[in-house]
Structure 1
């Protein structure tokens, strides 16, 4: 496949000079090829008059041009080859007419588009401009000289610093049907969007473009206002196809409706706007033609039903009761005024997912005018009604009228008793159906289902006038055979007010007849009572809530904090410093949550820097417990921590003689009574010298004792130093 996309516009020589005098309609498309190197598919779907079209005008390829929307600057062009041609079919193939035959021709090519090359916020558009339209069009001037311009807008492929992925809507193949004068006509012109975007439809005047008979295939131009077709006098976009009910389009579905007033060939266009999250991101125009002919007068079939024992035909306001011993089948009549007409009958159940009935026979052929034919509707065992709710059967008869079959619908409402299927039973583990609840207090019970016939069961729950999930109720639907059970749990939220009564219906369905289950239900009523709430309390393991701590002490500050609550609510326990951050000062305390009671330890080893040069500092720590009830309550206890520096202590009187002879008497020089450190006067070291000034002992760590067993007797000197002061003395060692 030949692929080209040139990023500066190149004027082409006119490859295709044959005049396409019979373009019926079509639209452009751009679709993303997910996870493919050739990430986009661009092309054209065109409808071509197969009877009157010039075969030479069927192009082997089309050239699609791309422009930037902001300033209509040319971005490039793509040559897309023809990949498919097929005949357009009719909704009823037997209704084809000799003057109407259309081809659907598809042109397409895959290519690689770099998203960052298409990042203009206002997006881009592509066009195909070609002449000429079908020369027999009724509602425009000079139709054989009028060109066709197909138009498609697409968003930037790179938006908000990310790839913006999007495909244009996809449309099914159009049927080649025709409309009849003064008869309602419906035409599905809607599509689907692969990205889930919303589509909005509106009728517009078709675009003509700049091509003409002389230049039928010129390179397209960028424009913010392409030329439009000229309607004949009396025609506007509001009555493109005039008549008792002019052509209209449903904005949400794309369904076209019209009751035309005269024969002809009418061109029209629908603009399809694409929205994502409320913002318009794309547009595509779709052109087509509708032929209106003078059809022979046809009358629809007629369905009639006379209930057993009645002398008049069935009225759709009646309800037919079928008892379990009554026959399963009843007779319905269909008539049609037309001779040799095939009549087909089908039916469906409106308010069940399965029909559970048959129609025999399902089709007839009339042999005389106003022929009367009979068929039977036979109810199956699973055609049963519950809770006094009748089942509605719609019987539909259709004939072979053109262009669409004419129909008649007969709706019959039937109540039929069950035979042979016993009802299941639903119960709960509750003592009663009324449950008193309070906010914050969990409620749990089990729901049981049982079927005496051992059929398959489905169990579910539903709140009356409220969504169970919105209120935090948990009850998952479940299924089983013969027996089934499921747990219900709920913690009533704070918005549950005293005096409220909430009802949950637990539904059990007998699934013997899929699509028409037998339901039974059990309600449970939740009565909301006032929620009592006793406040929580907090305390510490201290005798009194005050601690005086001398900095430099050997022990850290340690105690436990206990939060309690007499209720079953969850409680939290936290700490806060008054005017300071606990962790920044080295305090250790972990906040906790729990039920009834929580405990967390507090510890702190203060340092001298916390005094900031003062003799003492006071720190207040608040310990707070709070419950999680609807009427939240709290309690606080405060611990006062006073930090002080040690008082200055004098040096002790040291002995001047020691006798290290291992008799455990006066063997050591004892340092244990050295003054305690202060923040600004701390122990530095101790040194001992002999009488010649030689160092015999040194320690910069506060020693316990010095027991000189390996030193000779004599006279020694010692020096004890603190930050601000020192102490000297002499010592005699006797051995």
Structure 2
């Protein structure tokens, strides 16, 4: 059923007349639905006495109320329908007793909760308040009149300007088992959290709420301190189930343990607190009741093993050696004092992922008191030990005792020789097992694995007393058939200390027997040597490191910068202007990096603006090279560039007659000898007029010459303009 959560505007009171008698326990839940409009499931898991409960009190739906924790203000309510009812099972179904039968009833609805409507920083809580509990409970006063209140706190659904998603813990189905007087009993009350939050468990006095016999299903009230059950005399939260070992809970995993001293029906509650990043974000209570009965005395089975050739039974501080020619099977015995008792035996290896042995037969039935039964443990070919490492077989014998089977465990340590599988080999491309290394200098070599039987191999590496990745070593595990190969690479870090020795074990494993590989290792030792660093050098192709350049020269400034390093380090070549930006000044130079040697060209065509009105300016450029070793060294060379203005030169004496007759002699008026430009005074234009003042020639570009072959003879005059001076003269053309 999909419902929108109903905000409280007007509370509707719907009171069911039937009393929910004989409530055994339960808990509330709220879970987030990822990427769904109906973004939450809310509900209740309730346990109900199937023998003594009032069938009419099994509600078709429950009403769950939500309150704001800060001020206990009602926020809304939800009607959740019953979606499932089933019987609670026993851990051993054959151990059921006629006076104990429980239903698990689940109520749930899928709803839409708008996160911004649940944004109060202190969070919210939901409750279900109902009367009444089982009237035969031993450890509380007036149990048939006592109500049950289930409680769950959840964090705001919107915090720090974002949706805050959370689900309450999920718990496995409770078993309907009973405990025996003066016998240890374990009860798993632990859960898991979908968000990865931490769960902390503690025992509390169960909540009673405000419901009672006269008003068994009244709407819940908000409260910061709900009423609790009243214990009978002598009972507290520390001994809710009294006895030689009163009820305790493991704070980490929720495992309950108790050795009860008297028969009875005992109610208890566990509080589960939910933590995220060290902050508590939620809590819930789980109620239940445990029946303690007087059970017949039962004795556990006993496992016995007498190694071949010995007259005494095996003790667990022995190692059994099985040679390659010995039989693959050996005999173990189990005894049980009870007649017609079914005894089963299971076995597993503790330090292997696969067992590689069998137990036959695996089940027996005793015929007489203290019957002794024999079975075989048979080892397979892959049950082999390497490097004198014994394999531990754990045998567990289990009988049919109630409420839980009684067991006995026998650990047998076996060292078995290899019979048919040849060992692989591991080698490297190094000349030996010792490698001298220096900080910052790369080390590379290959590691090889080979198997004479052509079995599947796995090759890996592991640092002795250090993590390879933390040290920057690169060696990825690799697998293959018959042979494998992988490259090892390491640049020792700068903090590697001279004299240190690091050992890496390169291991190849024969994977013929999955779960029990045959390993062979080869260590390589890295000895850190001193890392003397010879500094790099930088120079230019200039004969001297000073250049005087006259602005306006036809050729710019060019030279090469060269950096070298006597070691194998990476070097970097850069440049910087002293007090000026090289790029803004028009200088062209590219920073470079490389190994051993680098060359980068420098070029510059200075302009007048760089003189800033002065006759000359000096520019210093530092060319720097630095190596990338751990003890970084640098070298610098400086080039000084002096920029000068060209100065002012006088106008030359121009001829006053030309004869443009095509004989190649004195045909043109030559301007090549005009004064050179400088930053203060430079050519603007030249104009030639006839004797009546008419312009016959004009140029803004400095001309080479003027050859007036299409102009009539006569007298002409000219004007040559510079920015700060001019020159005027007359010219006669004879034809």
Q: Identify the TM-score tier after normalising by the shorter chain.
A: over 0.9
Query: What corresponds to 2:348 in structure 1?
Result: 348
The 5 A counterparts of 1:433-444 are 433-444=433-444
1-structure distance, mates of 2:136, 2:231? 14
Query: What corresponds to 1:638 in structure 2?
Result: 638
1:212-265 deviations in Å (ceiling 9; x for gaps): 333322333333333332333332222222222122221221111111222222
Query: What corresponds to 1:185 in structure 2?
Result: 185
Aligned CA distance change for structure 1 residues 135 and 547 (closer, same or farther; 3 Å): farther
The 5 A counterparts of 1:458-607 are 458-607=458-607
2-structure distance, mates of 1:210, 1:279? 31
Aligned CA distance change for structure 1 residues 703 and 316 (closer, same or farther; 3 Å): same
1:365-422 deviations in Å (ceiling 9; x for gaps): 1122111111111111111111111111111000111111000001111111111112
- Which range moved further: 568-577 or 612-621? 612-621
1:130-149 deviations in Å (ceiling 9; x for gaps): 22222222222332233222
Aligned CA distance change for structure 1 residues 682 and 24 (closer, same or farther; 3 Å): farther
The 5 A counterparts of 1:234-273 are 234-273=234-273
2-structure distance, mates of 1:233, 1:554? 114
Query: What corresponds to 2:100 in structure 1?
Result: 100
Query: What corresponds to 2:53 in structure 1?
Result: 53
1-structure distance, mates of 2:478, 2:156? 47
Aligned CA distance change for structure 1 residues 633 and 298 (closer, same or farther; 3 Å): same
- Which range moved further: 290-299 or 156-165? 156-165
Structure 1 residue 321, shift from structure 2 partner: 1.1
1-structure distance, mates of 2:675, 2:288? 108
Query: What corresponds to 1:90 in structure 2?
Result: 90
Structure 1 residue 291, shift from structure 2 partner: 1.7
Query: What corresponds to 1:276 in structure 2?
Result: 276
Aligned CA distance change for structure 1 residues 720 and 235 (closer, same or farther; 3 Å): farther
Aligned CA distance change for structure 1 residues 543 and 370 (closer, same or farther; 3 Å): same
1:558-615 deviations in Å (ceiling 9; x for gaps): 3222211010111112222323333344433332221111222333343434333333
1:295-342 deviations in Å (ceiling 9; x for gaps): 221110111111111111111111111111111111111111111111
Query: What corresponds to 1:457 in structure 2?
Result: 457
2-structure distance, mates of 1:651, 1:119? 91
1:144 aligns with 2:139: no
Conserved in 1, the CA contact under 8 Å of 2:2 and 2:38? no
Conserved in 2, the CA contact under 8 Å of 1:9 and 1:77? no
Conserved in 2, the CA contact under 8 Å of 1:9 and 1:74? no
2-structure distance, mates of 1:246, 1:505? 52
1:7 aligns with 2:11: no
- Which range moved further: 606-615 or 325-334? 606-615
Conserved in 2, the CA contact under 8 Å of 1:170 and 1:191? yes
1-structure distance, mates of 2:347, 2:674? 110
1-structure distance, mates of 2:126, 2:442? 63
Aligned CA distance change for structure 1 residues 412 and 716 (closer, same or farther; 3 Å): same
Structure 1 residue 661, shift from structure 2 partner: 4.5
Conserved in 2, the CA contact under 8 Å of 1:4 and 1:79? no
Structure 1 residue 708, shift from structure 2 partner: 4.2
Structure 1 residue 653, shift from structure 2 partner: 3.3
Query: What corresponds to 2:381 in structure 1?
Result: 381
The answer for unaligned runs of 5 or more in structure 2 is none
The 5 A counterparts of 1:326-337 are 326-337=326-337
Query: What corresponds to 1:722 in structure 2?
Result: 722
RMSD of aligned alpha carbons? 2.2
1:405 aligns with 2:408: no
1:66 aligns with 2:104: no
Structure 1 residue 454, shift from structure 2 partner: 1.7
Structure 1 residue 663, shift from structure 2 partner: 4.4
Aligned CA distance change for structure 1 residues 115 and 664 (closer, same or farther; 3 Å): farther
Q: In structure 1, the residue corresponding to 2:601 is in which secondary structure?
A: strand
Structure 1 residue 364, shift from structure 2 partner: 0.7
2-structure distance, mates of 1:661, 1:481? 99
1:648 aligns with 2:648: yes
Aligned CA distance change for structure 1 residues 412 and 603 (closer, same or farther; 3 Å): same
Query: What corresponds to 2:220 in structure 1?
Result: 220
Q: In structure 2, the residue corresponding to 1:471 is in which secondary structure?
A: coil
Query: What corresponds to 1:32 in structure 2?
Result: 32
Aligned CA distance change for structure 1 residues 337 and 724 (closer, same or farther; 3 Å): same
Structure 1 residue 495, shift from structure 2 partner: 2.0
2-structure distance, mates of 1:160, 1:412? 58
Conserved in 1, the CA contact under 8 Å of 2:15 and 2:218? no
1-structure distance, mates of 2:733, 2:217? 125
1:675 aligns with 2:680: no
2-structure distance, mates of 1:204, 1:710? 123
Structure 1 residue 121, shift from structure 2 partner: 3.2
Structure 1 residue 527, shift from structure 2 partner: 1.8
- Which range moved further: 189-198 or 273-282? 273-282
Aligned CA distance change for structure 1 residues 145 and 562 (closer, same or farther; 3 Å): farther
2-structure distance, mates of 1:49, 1:706? 126
1-structure distance, mates of 2:146, 2:686? 115
2-structure distance, mates of 1:465, 1:356? 32
2-structure distance, mates of 1:236, 1:670? 125
Q: In structure 2, the residue corresponding to 1:640 is in which secondary structure?
A: strand
2-structure distance, mates of 1:201, 1:528? 52
Conserved in 1, the CA contact under 8 Å of 2:4 and 2:113? no
Q: In structure 1, the residue corresponding to 2:610 is in which secondary structure?
A: helix
Structure 1 residue 664, shift from structure 2 partner: 4.2
1:133-171 deviations in Å (ceiling 9; x for gaps): 222222223322332222222233333333333222221
Conserved in 1, the CA contact under 8 Å of 2:576 and 2:622? yes
Structure 1 residue 347, shift from structure 2 partner: 0.6
